[in-house]
Amino acid sequence: MSARHFVKYTFIKMEPAWRRLDAAEREQDKRELMAACEDFADGHLLQSLSLVGTRGDAELLLIAEAENLERIHELHVVLAQSGLMRWASTPYSFLGMRKSSEYSEDERGAPRAFEGKYVFVYPFVKSREWYALPAEQRWRIMQQHIEVGREYPGVDNHTTYSFGLDDQEFVVAFDTDDVGTFLDLVQRLRTTEASRYTVRDTPSFTCIRMSLTRALNALDGEPIGVVSEPLTAA
């Protein structure tokens, strides 16, 4: 029997001052972070996503999966040693663990990469009233919820568990190639009975999956050509 894996969501934001360094220094900083990630990715699942344009409070998301906390710890020790993290903050961080749902036959213990172009992530907490319901009633309510989800087959669920490990109960994550369909699904789910037991489902992150190289290059760059007219003439 294999152990349940940990999935770590680490959100990174650069200090504006980093963008004031010269290009060679920034290039070196990014290559050091890249080296730290490549070292971990040799044997572990590590995915990179960009939030540039979708959020104002985070720019890069790394999602790392490992068989124990020590390996997650080591990855972040090495990340912190990279030049990039000397100019970055970690505004959000979610620690989850794979676990099969009591409401579904689906096996959720195995490592599984995100494959859609877009990933949606939010921390999730249910009310204590929910947990006070009889197990059969919770089962029935969740079946309705799951059936609505099945009507949107292009949206795939990657939820992990955080009870006692982090501030939320679940790290809910979905991937899809079609943002509009995901929006329609979430709006539709508002009317299910399960929805009434939600206490917290924010912040809610829209992430664009891309190579780490591309996600890192989205953090900085040189300005494009400037306008010809001086502003003070306006």
Residues 22-81 that bind its own copies (CB under 8 A): 27-28, 30-32, 34-36, 38-39, 50, 52-57, 69-70, 72-78, 80-81
- Where in 119-148 is the site for its own copies (CB under 8 A)? 120, 128-129, 131-132, 135
Is the CB of residue 174 less than 8 Å from the CB of residue 130?
no
Q: What share of the chain is helix, strand, coil (3-state, %, to 5)?
A: 35, 25, 35
- The least CB distance from residue 113 to its own copies, in Å, is 20
With H, G, I as helix, E, B as strand and everything else as coil, classify residue 189. Answer: helix
Angle, helices 69-81 vs 23-41, to 10°: value is: 160
Report the amino acid identity of residue 220. Answer: D
Q: Of 60, 61, 63, 97, which one interacts with its own copies (CB under 8 A)?
A: 97
- The least CB distance from residue 110 to its own copies, in Å, is 15
Q: Nearer to its own copies by C-beta: 93 or 143?
A: 93
114 binds its own copies (CB under 8 A): no
Is the CB of residue 117 less than 8 Å from the CB of residue 214?
no
- Where in 178-207 is the site for its own copies (CB under 8 A)? 179-180, 182-187, 190-191, 193, 195-196, 198, 202-204, 206
Peptide bond preceding 203 in cis form (omega within 30 of 0): yes
213 binds its own copies (CB under 8 A): yes
